[in-house]
Structure 1
Amino acid sequence: MTEPMPSPPPAPPSPSPDGTGRSPVDAVPSLSAASAAPSSVTRRATLAGTVVSVLLILAIYFGSRMLRDFDSALLPYAVATVFLAFGVAYRYTVWVSAPGARRLFTKGWGSLFSAENFRKAPTALPRMIATYLGFQKFLGARSHARWAAHQLMFWGCLLAAAITFPLTWGWFTFTSGSGSGPGYEMRVWGVKILGFNSANILGWLMFHGLDIAAVLVIPGASYFLWRRMKDRGAMTGQRFAYDLVPLIALIIISVTGLLLTFSSIFLHGGGYEFLALLHMVSVVFTLIYIPFGKFFHIVQRPAAVGMQLFKYTARQNDDIFRCRRCDTPIDTAPYVENLESTMRDLKLDFAQWAEYCPRCKRELRGNAYLSHVKKGFK
Structure 2
Amino acid sequence: MPDTPSGPGGRSPAVRASLVATGASALLLVAIVLGSRGLRDFDSALVPYAVATVFLTFGVVYRYTVWISAPAARRLLRDGWRAALSWENLRRSPTALPRMIATYLGFQRFLGARSHARWAAHQLIFWGCLLAAAITFPLTWGWFTFTAASATGPGYQMRIWGVEVFGFDSSGTLGWILFHGLDLAAVLVISGAGWFLWRRMRDREAITGQRFGYDLVPLLALLTVSVTGLLLTFSEMVLDGGGYEFLAVLHMASVVLTLVYLPFGKFFHIVQRPAAVGMQLFKYTSRRRDDPAGEVLACRRCGRPIDTVAYVENLRGTMRDLRLGFDEWAEFCPRCKRVLRGGAYLSGVKRGFR
TM-score by length of 1: 0.87
Check whether the contact 1:37–1:94 (CA below 8 A) recurs between aligned residues.
no
Gaps of 5+ in 2: none
Of 68, 80, 83 in structure 2, the residue corresponding to residue 108 of structure 1 is 80
Q: Cα deviation per residue 1:179-200 (whole Å; 9 max; x = unaligned)? A: 4651011111111111110111
CA-CA distance at 1:100 after TM superposition: 1.1
**Equivalence for 1:40:** 12
Of 213, 229, 239 in structure 1, the residue corresponding to residue 211 of structure 2 is 239
Which residues of 2 match residues 306-345 of structure 1 at below 5 A?
306-317=278-289, 318-345=294-321
Which residues of 2 match residues 1-378 of structure 1 at below 5 A?
40-179=12-151, 181-317=153-289, 318-376=294-352
Please provide the CA RMSD for this pair: 1.6
Q: Cα deviation per residue 1:142-161 (whole Å; 9 max; x = unaligned)? A: 01111010000000000000
Q: Distance in 1 between matches of 2:94 and 2:125?
A: 30
CA-CA distance at 1:374 after TM superposition: 4.6
More displaced stretch, 56-65 vs 226-235: 226-235
Q: Distance in 1 between matches of 2:114 and 2:38?
A: 49
Q: Cα deviation per residue 1:255-308 (whole Å; 9 max; x = unaligned)? A: 011110011111110000000000000000111111111100000000000000
Instruction: Give the number of the structure with larger relative contact order, counting CA–CA contacts within 8 Å between residues 6 or more apart.
Output: 1
CA-CA distance at 1:102 after TM superposition: 1.2
Q: Distance in 2 between matches of 1:151 and 1:372?
A: 48
In the alignment, residue 214 of structure 1 is paired with which amino acid?
A: A
Q: Distance in 2 between matches of 1:179 and 1:149?
A: 43
In the alignment, residue 272 of structure 1 is paired with which amino acid?
A: Y
Q: Distance in 1 between matches of 2:326 and 2:171?
A: 67
SS at match of 2:12: helix
Q: Distance in 2 between matches of 1:67 and 1:239?
A: 42
Q: Sort the Cα spacing of 1:150 and 1:127 in 2 relative to 1 into closer, same or farther, 3 A.
A: same
Check whether the contact 1:330–1:357 (CA below 8 A) recurs between aligned residues.
yes
Q: Sort the Cα spacing of 1:243 and 1:180 in 2 relative to 1 into closer, same or farther, 3 A.
A: farther
- Percent identical: 72
**Equivalence for 1:3:** none
Q: Cα deviation per residue 1:330-373 (whole Å; 9 max; x = unaligned)? A: 11111111111111222222211110122322333343344434
CA-CA distance at 1:325 after TM superposition: 2.5
Q: Distance in 1 between matches of 2:97 and 2:153?
A: 44
Q: Cα deviation per residue 1:39-78 (whole Å; 9 max; x = unaligned)? A: 6111101001100000000000001111111111111101
Check whether the contact 1:77–1:168 (CA below 8 A) recurs between aligned residues.
yes
Q: Distance in 2 between matches of 1:367 and 1:90?
A: 43
Q: Distance in 2 between matches of 1:303 and 1:117?
A: 17
Q: Sort the Cα spacing of 1:271 and 1:94 in 2 relative to 1 into closer, same or farther, 3 A.
A: same
Q: Distance in 2 between matches of 1:350 and 1:180?
A: 76
Q: Distance in 2 between matches of 1:332 and 1:220?
A: 37
CA-CA distance at 1:377 after TM superposition: 5.6
Aligned length: 343
SS at match of 1:299: helix
Check whether the contact 1:181–1:198 (CA below 8 A) recurs between aligned residues.
no
